[in-house]
Amino acid sequence: MIKGSFAPKRAGGTVEEPICEAEFELLSGDPARMFDVALELCEAYDIRLGHLTKAQRGYALTRPALRPRPCKAPKVVLTEEMSVGKAFNFIIAGALEHMFANETPTLEGRAEGVHQTRVAMRRVRAALRAFKRILPYDKRKAFNGEFRWFQQRLAPARDWQVFLSETLPKIAAAAPEQEEAIKRLRRIARAERRRAVGDAAAYLDSRRYARLLLQFERWIASVEKEVGSKTFDEPVKPFARSVLRRTWRYFLEDTRPLSRLPDEDLHEIRKRGKKARYATQFFNSLWTGSRVPPFMKLMGRFQDSLGKTNDAIVARHILAAVKPGRLDPSVIHLAQEWSQARVRKCLRTAQPQWRRLGRVAPFWEAAE
């Protein structure tokens, strides 16, 4: 069923939002057929998918405080009664819901919306990786690559937001005598953030993004037929244990002290840590007992330490990319010195956490 609406909708007679939309509703039959029609429209017209109900849009028009705000991902809670297929669909649905919830804030130019959209995309990719044993290789890799492409294009907005809200105040506090130069740097950073957030909104407003979502949801709706119900019907807990074992071995593969690693290798360990952390977040609810919360906290603290390290390194990179002549050389030197000191401090915190993670017995290996 397709419904068309081509007139402005008014709220209270004072606020309006022009609407030109087609609404799809599956009453029966194969959902893939419905997505095929939507994809034909996407190829013929420059469309964008909407994920807000009419009620949500109406309330937002009458009261701006009710407009969608950036939000974090919901916690994943699986049960042992679930099959592998049900767990996969549940995790993917949560990641997509998280992405859709942050779409409007991103399109409105909110930097935190961009960040949460990137997190949601990362969660989609992490789910594809966790369930790769049951998924067709070619399509899984193709969708992973496309989501990664969008993640990378949205990254500058996040980098400049972190620089403005967290890094720059620390640099300013370390050199109060550089007040005027810091003010100029702040103005430049705000302009760069505004540009990067605008670019991020344009990417989410593109036909390529709409096509990706439609193709991905079509695939998710039909993937069980593609791989077979027998695979999807396996119990989830043994599957989860095998995923966590594999991910954990990969995470702990590099045993060198963190302080001896170049920036590229630190970043690689951070990425591996994210993969391990997402996998444990997906599956930890399948285990109970006193070992689970401390393990999750340790993983979180280590990722936070490496995240702060990465933010300090990124600060150097984004300043180096600013057009020559716009920044005072003394400020660039100050930022570089602060970054190097910050990295050393963060790694001193991360190193004992790293050693402890290498010694701890994971909760999924505990006797039941």
Residues 241, 292 within the same domain? yes
Domain boundary among 67, 94, 122: 67
Q: How far is the C-alpha of 222 from the C-alpha of 225, rounded, in Å?
A: 6
pLDDT at 5: 44
Domain count for the chain: 2
pLDDT at 9: 53
- Sequence-ordered list of residues with C-beta below 8 angstroms from that of 139, at least 6 positions apart, any chain: 219
Residues 115, 63 within the same domain? no
Residues 35, 87 within the same domain? no
Residues 74, 113 within the same domain? yes
pLDDT tens digit sequence for 146-160: 999 999 999 999 999
Residues 62, 125 within the same domain? no
pLDDT at 303: 95
Q: Which residue has the tokens 């804030």?
A: 105
pLDDT at 59: 81
Residues 55, 133 within the same domain? no
pLDDT at 7: 45
pLDDT at 367: 61
Q: Identify the CATH number of the domain in which residue 101 sits.
A: 1.40.20.10
Per-residue pLDDT of the chain (368 residues; tens, 9 = 90+): 334 444 445 555 566 777 777 888 888 888 888 888 889 988 888 888 888 877 888 888 888 788 889 999 999 999 999 999 999 999 999 999 999 999 999 999 999 999 999 999 999 999 999 999 999 999 999 999 999 999 999 999 999 999 999 999 999 998 888 888 899 999 999 999 999 999 999 999 999 999 999 999 999 999 988 887 788 999 999 999 999 999 999 999 998 999 999 999 999 999 999 999 999 999 999 999 889 999 999 999 999 999 999 999 999 999 988 888 888 888 888 899 999 999 999 999 999 999 999 999 999 997 66
Q: Give Dmax over CA atoms of the chain in angstroms.
A: 70
pLDDT at 3: 41
pLDDT at 45: 85
Report yes or no: 157 and 195 within 8 Å, Cβ to Cβ.
no
Task: Tell me the residue range of the domain where 41 lies.
Answer: 1-67
Q: What is the DSSP string of 140-208?
A: HHHHHHHHHHHHHHHHHHHHHHHIIIIIHHHHHHH-GGGHHHHHHHHHHHHHHHHHHHHHHHHHHTSHH
Residues 51, 159 within the same domain? no
Residues 59, 104 within the same domain? no
Domain boundary among 37, 67, 97: 67
Q: How far is the C-alpha of 75 from the C-alpha of 91, rounded, in Å?
A: 10
Query: Which parts of the chain are beta strand (E)?
Result: 2-5, 9-11, 15-17, 21-24
pLDDT at 134: 93
pLDDT at 363: 94
pLDDT at 213: 96
The burial of 297, by beta-carbon neighbours within 10 Å (0-12 exposed, 13-18 middle, 19 or more buried), is given as: exposed
Q: Which residue has the tokens 């990417």?
A: 203
Residues 201, 321 within the same domain? yes
Amino acid found at 69: R
Q: How far is the C-alpha of 45 from the C-alpha of 310, rounded, in Å?
A: 41
Report yes or no: 116 and 70 within 8 Å, Cβ to Cβ.
yes
Residues 75, 204 within the same domain? yes
Q: Which residue has the tokens 């996969």?
A: 88
Report yes or no: 145 and 216 within 8 Å, Cβ to Cβ.
no
Residues 319, 182 within the same domain? yes
> Can you give the pTM of this predicted structure?
0.91
pLDDT at 187: 94
Q: How far is the C-alpha of 172 from the C-alpha of 86, rounded, in Å?
A: 50
pLDDT at 14: 62
End-to-end CA distance of the chain: 51
Cα 34 to the center of its chain, rounded Å: 28
Residues 17, 160 within the same domain? no
Domain boundary among 67, 82, 106: 67
